[in-house]
Structure 1
Amino acid sequence: MDVLVDNTHFTRIERILDYIHNNIDSPLSVESLAKKSCWSRWQLQRIFLQETNQTVAQYVREIKLSRAAEQLLLNTNRIMDIALNCGFNSEISFNRSFKQLFQCSPSAYRKRGQHIGLKTPLISSMPNHQAYEVKKRLLQIRFDYQADFYFYGVSGLIQGIFAKQPNYSKTIPLIWQKMVDTTGIKPPFKKPVMGVIDTRENQDHASSTYWAGYKVNNKETSNLASEHLLHVPAQTYAVIPHTGLVKHLDLTIQWFLSTWLPQSDYQSVEGFDLEIYQAGFDIHSNESTMECFIPIQLKPC
């Protein structure tokens, strides 16, 4: 019975999300959405927060502002026109809300010209033929720009998820163990660690180079062996959240590449994929959360 109730709640939240996305340029109050959902205002707030980890008002606000931020980068329309087009009543309220989310004014965001902090609508990660085991849940992709950095670690060749004979489930743990042996840091790691996949010369999904390690600053590089250093250039990424065991990360990535990306206005590009694990990440926990960064760009018109 509990599972049935949970699934019913999830389906109703999906319907509310569809309504929000289709009417994002219109005023969307919690009261009006509660009536649309056939829940009380309190029920909608509680269940929406449970399923999305966001309040209704927060979600609507961030999607409106992300849409506005993308328009700032893609066209030369006046800021006032963009504000009105995205459902704001005045340029003053728009500027205030925009600065709260993006930590800069709309004009400064446009001048910088980088996708930073943009959030896309939540959608359900429905299973597909290539990622049939992905648990149905809501995922929110965001776009982010990362400046270049230096990385210290160890590397090895892997056959990735689309290779004819994938071996990453066996080779990646060995590379991480080699990193532990080389650097001396041991799990649970006290600082963020990263996996980096070099896809620049990955022809026909053949072997890729996988690195395990962590960021270092420019000064530290002078004291480190060059064979253990990697320079990752500045890139714009799609950031995919993953919750659960690391061994299931490939299913989330397959869902993104096979379902989300083809339906978007973006395409992946050669570069460096990043797996970012925060300090204390527990590889054995079903509740652990990490993020995967995949380089992207707008599709040609």
Structure 2
Amino acid sequence: MKIIDEEIQADYKNRINRVFEFIDQNLDSDLSLNTISEIAFFSPFHFHRVFKFVTDETLNQYVTRQRVEKSALDLLHKNITTTEIAHKYGFADNSSFSRTFKKYFEISPTEFKRQNPNRHSKIRQLERKNGQEYPPYEKYICIIDNLKKWIKMNAKIEIKEMPKMNVAYVSCMGSQNLENAFDKLIQWAMPQGLMNERTKVLTVYHDSFKVTEANKVRMSASVLLDKPVEAEGEIGLTTIEAGKCIVGSFEIEPNEFEKSWTGLFVWMNENGYKKADREPFEIYHNNFNEHPERKAIVDFCIPI
């Protein structure tokens, strides 16, 4: 009976993966319960319950959050108007976008864009989220300077044209669940003959820690495929499209990942690059547990 329950749960999660991908690609379109439940092959009533169980949000809450958070990233990284952003993410008009945005971030899109972009990064968390005051300007500048020094000392940074990559993945929400997602992926990949010393393992980030609460950031534990495979259960298949990336190569301790990511985004801004509408990812080149100093050899990739 337990095996049947696990198979049902895996099938449900696979269907929800399809929903995530559809929503990501259609934030400007009709994402009503009836439309999305058809993508998942559920009745609207049953889909509502399953989606809430998997994400801890209703479909409407999830879609609205995605639209607002993605629009916030555009305000930070792109030189486009709020009217263009409203249209891009499926809001009826500019006033509807502004009203929804302000409800979420407690300030208007215009004010959000006017303020220092880094005010909303992990360096300067919104006060309402963690009850902390923003660091004073001098301390903030010191943090940025330290990040620049850190990147200069610890990263080899290149602009690369990355190839198209076919991957199998297990999706999860929150970094606390990423290790479990990798365990499931590797348990599936080993019997398929996909794991060897040349295999590349990746984490793809579908949300940004800049604007999304850590426990709601969606990630995909992924393995690069060198042959066609069939997905089953919780395993999904997708393609990371080819394109230009900032690639930061690091040899770091596990607790230095956040600092490395933040520093690489600072480098991106300092050097005049703009993030593309594609998802950042990490490519791992070793198992840090087997490194003599327990360090990870990893590439951080920001599409531009």
TM-score range, shorter chain: 0.3 to 0.5
- What's the TM-score, normalizing by structure 1? 0.47
Q: Which has the larger radius of gyration?
A: 1
Which structure has more strand as a fraction of its residues?
A: 1
Which structure has more helix as a fraction of its residues?
A: 2
Q: Which has the higher contact order (CA 8 A, sep 6+)?
A: 2
- What's the TM-score, normalizing by structure 2? 0.46
